[in-house]
Every structure is written in C-alpha cells, then in structure tokens.
Amino acid sequence: MKKTVLVTGGAGYVGSHCCKAFATAGWNVVTLDNLSRGWRDAVRWGPLVECDIRNSTGVRAVLDTYKPDLVAHFAALAYVGESVADPAIYYDNNTRGTLALLESMRAAGCSRVLFSSTCASYGVPKHTPIDETHPQAPINPYGWSKMIIERMLEDFGRAYEMSSVSLRYFNAAGCDPDGELG
Ligand SMILES: NC(=O)c1ccc[n+]([C@@H]2O[C@H](COP(=O)([O-])OP(=O)(O)OC[C@H]3O[C@@H](n4cnc5c(N)ncnc54)[C@H](O)[C@@H]3O)[C@@H](O)[C@H]2O)c1
C-alpha cells in the first residue's frame, strides 16, 4: 500500500522539490498551501488544497479526507530581514500556525511530522563545521519562530507521542536537474 504524505508549503520552492522526491519514492502526495508565496504551477505530483495552516477546520477536513501517514511541514515565511522588520507576522504565521497545525493533527490522530526548521536556529557559529550538536541560539525572529517550534515538537513528543524530525538545513539553491521545477 502506498503511503500518503501531506506537504504543507508544497507550492513553494523547497516544498515543491520535496513533493517530486516523495512521488518519485512512491508516496501519494497531497499539497496544502495558501499560495501566499507559492506557485500553483509548481504543484504537479498530486492534488493542491488551497488552505492556510491556521485554518483548523480546513486542515482537519484535509487530514480526515486523505489520512496522511506523515505531514511534511514546509509552510512558513522565511526571510530573515522581513522577520526583523515585522516579527509579529513570523510568530503568527510560523509559530502559531504550526501550533494550529499540530493541534489539528492531534485531533485527527495523525502523529508523524517532518519539520522544515532552519540553520538560522544556530545563530552565530561557535565552531565550524556546524553539526547537529552545535548549540542553538537564534539571532533573529525568523530563527526564533522556528526554534520555538522545535521545542514544541519535543514537548508534543513527550506528552502526546507525536513523533517528529526537525531538519536544520542551510540555504538551498538551484533548480530541478530534469528541468521540471525552477
Ligand atoms: N530556502 C531555503 O534555503 C531554506 C533553508 C532552510 C529552511 N527553509 C525552510 O523551508 C521551508 C520552505 O522554504 P522556501 O524557501 O521553499 O519558501 P517558499 O516561500 O518558496 O515556500 C513556502 C510556502 O509556504 C506557503 N505558506 C506560507 N505560509 C503559509 C500558511 N500559513 N499556510 C499555508 N501555506 C503557507 C507559501 O505560500 C509557500 O508556497 C520554510 O519553512 C523555510 O523556513 C528554507
């Protein structure tokens, strides 16, 4: 039986490439994106549900319909400079949005999440190369908005048996080698 992944932010840059990678690996892929910063045309490996992660009713309906085995969570605002100028929208969209998403998942009995965190949670490097054990000390609201989510996921794991992995990757660049995505 094919497994199903719900990719939040799947119409964005990293999310759309991951949709392709999941589909290539044999998963059913469903994208949830509010298209605030994504591209409808980038959603090619399964249905697009136009919805905001903060819309609990909408997200719950998607979870009940597709019953995903995993939520791959990429939906976020992701500009450091913008987060310094207007931190409220980062804590609202990223942090509150993720709490709403996790609560919808809990209500729907969906307990596995792959979280797209960020290298910005490390802050100024104390040593290089930076590895997973490097201390996390963000220096901007974007980094904090993601690091709080990492903590939230740890707590949800302990209390509600939600299993998660947080990927703190560095800046991605480039296009799809097959030329299917920019
Ligand atoms: N691009 C990088 O190099 C990089 C590096 C590390 C981590 N990340 C993380 O990866 C993720 C994707 O980054 P990206 O560069 O592809 O950004 P992007 O802006 O291209 O994609 C983000 C997607 O999320 C959607 N979105 C935003 N808020 C939403 C909400 N409230 N509800 C539903 N959809 C929403 C946008 O419409 C967009 O399609 C982000 O979480 C970002 O923090 C990116």
How confident is the model over 169-174, as a mean pLDDT? 94
CATH number where 31 lies: 3.40.50.720
pLDDT exceeds cutoff 90 at 1: no
Is residue 4 classed as helix, strand or coil in its secondary structure? strand
How confident is the model over 122-137, as a mean pLDDT? 95
| Ligand 1 atom showing the smallest separation from residue 38 Cα | 39
Is 42 a member of any domain?
Answer: yes
Is 55 a member of any domain?
Answer: yes
pLDDT exceeds cutoff 90 at 112: yes
How confident is the model over 130-140, as a mean pLDDT? 96
pLDDT cut 70: percent of the chain above it: 100
C-alpha 87/C-alpha 60 separation (Å) is 27
Is 151 a member of any domain?
Answer: yes
| Ligand 1 atom showing the smallest separation from residue 42 Cα | 39
C-alpha 91/C-alpha 69 separation (Å) is 27
Q: Give the distance from CA 145 to its chain's centroid.
A: 12
Is the CB of 171 within 6 Å of ligand 1? yes
How do 48-50 and 70-73 pair as beta strands?
Answer: unpaired
Work out the mean pLDDT of the chain and round it to a whole number: 97
Looking at 79, 122, 142, 160, which residue is catalytic? Answer: 142
pLDDT cut 90: percent of the chain above it: 99
DSSP characters over 100-117: HHHHHHHHHT--EEEEE-
How confident is the model over 131-146, as a mean pLDDT? 97
C-alpha 75/C-alpha 66 separation (Å) is 18
One-letter amino acid identity for 57? T
Is 143 a member of any domain?
Answer: yes
79 given a catalytic annotation: no
Is 180 a member of any domain?
Answer: no
Number of domains observed in the structure of the chain? 1
Query: Atom 36 (ligand 1): residue with closest C-alpha?
Result: 37
Is 29 a member of any domain?
Answer: yes
pLDDT exceeds cutoff 90 at 89: yes
Q: Which domain holds residue 17?
A: 4-167
Q: What are the tens digits of pLDDT across the range 15-60?
A: 999 999 999 999 999 999 999 999 999 999 999 999 999 999 999 9
CB 23 within 8 A of CB 29: yes
Is 103 a member of any domain?
Answer: yes
- From residue 23, give the alpha-carbon distance in Å to each of 5, 34, 65, 106, 156: 9, 21, 19, 25, 28
